[in-house]
Structure 1
Amino acid sequence: MSTRGGAVVTGAGRGLGRLIAGLLVERGHDVLVTDLDGEAAAAVAAELGPRASARALDVRDEVAVAAARDELVERAGRLEVWVNNAGVLVTGPAWEQDPQSRRLMLEVNALGTINGTVSAITAMRTHGGHVVNIVSLAGLAPVPGEAVYAASKHAAIGFSLSTIADLRLAGVRNIDVSCICPDGIWTPMLHDKLDDPGAALSFSGRLMQPEEVVAAVGRVLDKPRPVTTLPRSRGVQARLAALAPRVAVAAAPLVVARGRRTQKRMLRDR
């Protein structure tokens, strides 16, 4: 059993989640690697070594989420860190998306975050802990081409900040909730979006490397922060866009055009 508490990472079968699971193993946690794709989760756990175990998990299922938590607690003794990383992106105007796609984004990105956070807090009440929610700059500002995705991420931010307030009002000081809000990250979620105009805004800035986001996770684990934006300059832009929505909407065609140019350049350079 680890001298540190255990950790759970959702959506950890590939990409960013896989790297976050690796960070937590390096920090001395026993880590439960979870993913909708159980085989992918098992492969990551095998790669990470004896401190890692795996479980297939659909974050939309609160009973399954609680069972994953209980499995980790039984193995590690207590839950110290829970990272809600699982996410889904389907692009395009909301009216062009099928109902299943809209529901999927809302349930995975918003309800999945809620399920994981609530389950984690339930286990952390006696000894404390830290929930890290991987959100997005789309949770802070309007995002043309990703309206439903942005709605799901706004929900995740609103829930997280409200939960922090509820914890403090309840006198709970030893549980933290930190949101990481990165710009577009060059992970499998965007790898197939280079020729997708609906994803243009995700390419309008410098694409983040997953390692940059992992480093930010490490920083908030050491010093919790309600919201961390990456990069900081784009975070400022997102907050200004939220404060001046008319200006943001008027500027959207220019920002989208810049993103499309980046997509086309990356396609050429493949």
Structure 2
Amino acid sequence: MTADPSSRGGAVVTGAGRGLGRQIAALLVERGHHVLVTDIDGAAARASAEELGPRASALALDVRDHAQVVAARDAVVERAGRLDVWVNNAGVLITGPAWEQDEATRRLMLEVNALGTINGTVAAIGAMRATGGHVVNIVSLAGLSAVPGEAVYAASKHAAIGFSLSTIADLRAAGVKDVDISCICPDGIWTPMLHDKLHDPGSALSFSGRLLMPEEVVEAVRRVLDAPRLVTAVPAWRGVVARVGDALPRFSLAAMPLVVAQGRRTQRKLRDRGGPRG
């Protein structure tokens, strides 16, 4: 059921110029929010906002810059009256062993994926403490376990999870009951981020399960907006596997070559046929 637009305030989605972020922005428009579509690519953000209609506007945003993030928050509050939802979706994935990545590459992933999530969450809380609201952080299964070939990426996602859970604990300790934080931890999603990794053996683990369609992750976002949940793995069974692997690291590392091999077989199949099955 589509929400009554008059009952909704503003929402912000980062990294919404294409892919999953754009679809999350569409969900929030459908639910009656005025949505600020942000992306480091301003042209992509504007194109997405135009497609989404009059309840969407656009802003070029580098989530690593706290001042820019605060300005985005203030812009949506000025337009919509309050901030109801902030979705930290912007992310960067560059694969390879950490020792083969230069400092700039490592810093980029840590700053976009971890610092960007921190900046967005802190800015959102600044507006939401007075009116209530919900921060949704799009993380990854890489935030729950070891990911060979994606060590720095995994570190950034572990940081996002740790920050989110610690911050909600701080909010509750401060007596703030009507601001929620939910983390969505999806397996590999068939978006442009993975389209570009079909020939990359370092990203094999992202292909080791059933590739998700963006709509499946959007549905998970819909569910947590209706019923906040601290951590949601998509699919749930992969979250269980990741948690077991995290609890039993020796077992996980021993099994990892088999999982990586499965991912590389999937990459080859996808290259051959040009995409995942239905």
State TM-score, norm by structure 2.
Answer: 0.96
Output the amino acid matched with 1:8: V
**Deviation per CA, 1:34-83, whole angstroms, max 9, x where unpaired?**
00000000000000000000000000000000000000000000000000
**Deviation per CA, 1:111-137, whole angstroms, max 9, x where unpaired?**
000000000000001110000000000
**Equivalent position of 1:95 in the other structure:** 99
Output the amino acid matched with 1:68: A
**Equivalent position of 2:47 in the other structure:** 43
Q: Equivalent residue of 1:165, what SS?
A: helix
Q: Distance in 1 between matches of 2:253 and 2:7?
A: 51
**Equivalent position of 2:220 in the other structure:** 216
Output the amino acid matched with 2:219: A
Aligned pairs for 1:68-217 within 5 A: 68-217=72-221
Q: Distance in 2 between matches of 1:90 and 1:113?
A: 18
Q: Does 1:60 align with 2:88?
A: no
**Equivalent position of 1:250 in the other structure:** 254
Q: Does 1:30 align with 2:38?
A: no
Q: Distance in 1 between matches of 2:63 and 2:173?
A: 27
Output the amino acid matched with 2:154: A
**Equivalent position of 1:235 in the other structure:** 239
Q: Distance in 1 between matches of 2:37 and 2:25?
A: 7
Task: State the Cα distance separating 1:3 from its structure 2 match.
Answer: 3.1
Q: Distance in 1 between matches of 2:196 and 2:124?
A: 33
RMSD after superposition? 0.7
Q: Distance in 2 between matches of 1:64 and 1:192?
A: 28
Q: Distance in 1 between matches of 2:74 and 2:200?
A: 40
**Equivalent position of 1:7 in the other structure:** 11
% same residue = 77
**Deviation per CA, 1:92-145, whole angstroms, max 9, x where unpaired?**
100011111100000000000000000000000111000000000000000000
Task: State the Cα distance separating 1:11 from its structure 2 match.
Answer: 0.1
Q: Distance in 1 between matches of 2:71 and 2:104?
A: 26
Task: State the Cα distance separating 1:186 from its structure 2 match.
Answer: 0.4
Which runs of 5 or more structure 2 residues have no equivalent in the other structure?
A: none
**Equivalences, count:** 270
Note if contact 1:24-1:31 (Cα within 8 Å) is conserved in structure 2.
Answer: yes
State TM-score, norm by structure 1.
Answer: 0.99
Q: Equivalent residue of 1:126, what SS?
A: helix
Q: Distance in 1 between matches of 2:152 and 2:145?
A: 12
Task: State the Cα distance separating 1:28 from its structure 2 match.
Answer: 0.2
**Deviation per CA, 1:164-211, whole angstroms, max 9, x where unpaired?**
100000000000000000000000000010110000000000001000
Output the amino acid matched with 2:128: M
